[in-house]
Amino acid sequence: MISSHRSQGFTLIEVAVALAILSLVLGGALSVVSQYSDERLRLRERTFATQVSWNRLMERYQFAQNWIPATERSNLQSKGFDEQYGQEWRWQVNIEEAMGQDLFRYEVQAGPAQGKKMTGALAMYLVVDER
């Protein structure tokens, strides 16, 4: 009589292979989540820096439209710091003459006060009568 002996369960090699595959899948998932989180923080910082730049450009636009009283026009600065969104931001305005009479290119760059680089920038052209 031949006895049939069936083994039940998994072998050690099968369990090791399954654990290796599981660790690769989990490692990849953690990497993707980490990259998403980093990108989300960079995008948030860039959005806020761009908003700071926009505010400074609007100040220059108001100047160009003569909406700012003459007594306050001397207060326009070319660089400085702003407190927005619970954080301090540094900004810098660069003004260049463009082709055309009284046409100027205004570019504002902004970034975190403690950061080394500017993370947001906007530019616009304005006709400014400086007389």
For residue 66, being part of any structural domain is answered with yes
What is the distance between the alpha carbons of residues 90 and 45, in angstroms, rounded to a whole number? 13
Length of the chain equals 131
Domain contains 35: no
Question: Is 34 among the domain residues?
Answer: no
pTM above 0.75, yes or no: no
Predicted pLDDT at 131: 47
The tens place of each residue's pLDDT in the chain, 131 residues long, gives 565 666 678 899 999 999 999 999 999 999 999 999 999 999 999 999 999 999 999 998 988 888 888 777 777 889 999 998 899 999 999 999 988 788 999 999 999 999 889 999 999 999 887 54
Question: What CATH number corresponds to the domain at position 79?
Answer: 3.30.1300.30
Q: Domains in the chain: how many in total?
A: 1
Would 105 be classed as within a structural domain? yes
